[in-house]
Structure 1
Amino acid sequence: MADKQFRKEWLEKNVSVHETACIDAPCKIGAGTKIWHFSHIMAECEIGEHCNIGQNVVISPQVRIGNNVKVQNNVSLYTGVICEDDVFLGPSAVFTNVLNPRSHISRKNEYRVTTVRKGATIGANSTVVCGHDIGTYAFVGAGSVVTRNVPPYAMIVGNPGKLHGWVCACGCKLHFTGPKTHCAECGKKYTKDGDIVSEE
């Protein structure tokens, strides 16, 4: 559902919105973005260019989504969540925004910011506890629970999520036998200093 002005703007920017999706004004939707069945895009959120928003997705006010982000079915992005460019959010991934929610106590002034950095992946059915930073190109395995900051290129698995190695920007696992390695798939080179991995 949307007014005529919205629909004219979408046509000009090649934005595709399914007729069952609910779009509240004002919000920003970038060129080439697709929004699928039964999703709710709330006022004052921002979605970048060439994003794919799956079925039954909720994007709350003040949420910021970069370019080329893929949000799979049944994901809810609550106020306080920021996703940078090229992020992948798997089906039914969960984000919280309050550490100690109670039905009878309003904590809207206590929302914690969660930032998912460029190129990171949050696997299907994972939970990200609010107030944490998911590093650049980090990979959170399916069903994991994130309870602390995740370093760039880290692979996090389990409940609670623990470090299980490192991944390339292309998603393949990196194998360090010393301070340097390269990706067997794409050839990118990396250095490791303690728990800090960076691309050369």
Structure 2
Amino acid sequence: MAKNNLPKAGFTLAKIALGGAVLVGLGAVTVAYAQTKPLQTVEKVELDKYLGVWYEVARKPMYFQNQCDRDVSATYTLNENGNVKVDNRCYSKTGQLKQSVGEAFVQNSPFNTKLKVSFLPEAVRWLPVGRGDYWVLKLDENYQTVLVGEPRRKYMWVLSRSAHPDESVVKEYLDYAKSLGYDLSDIIHTQQTQK
């Protein structure tokens, strides 16, 4: 009497399928855990080193960037009041310059890793409404590449001092974002035409 009616090849395929299902399940659990784990920022950001021009190299879709087709950049300068002026620029598909000027407010001085950004008109920007989170999640020691996000993991940017950074560096930062629970299936790689 045969103890198992499954052919040997069928049994092996069943084991492979079960193993694959377990791996997929573990992957889903890992992503779910990463998304519920509190988002960690870098230890500290020295604002004077962080100021200047950054080029966007990758981002998750965001409604206020819908018209941005290429050459997205952000310039950060220190205001007299100690807050950071944010000057975002990009070009539309028709070549029209789009600019949005706002202000960033440090939320955890002296660490400077969590900011709130407002693009409200300057006269009412002091109001603590309409501000978005800007958290520094990964930053190299030379302040050349940065991963910025927010705690719900809906929005994320990889910025670089170079319009054309090394692809392996960009991959490293995107892999890190994925490890934090970001879904990268809709990632946009920004076209930069500057040299």
Q: TM-score, normalised by structure 2?
A: 0.24
Larger RCO, structure (CA 8 Å, separation 6 or more): 2
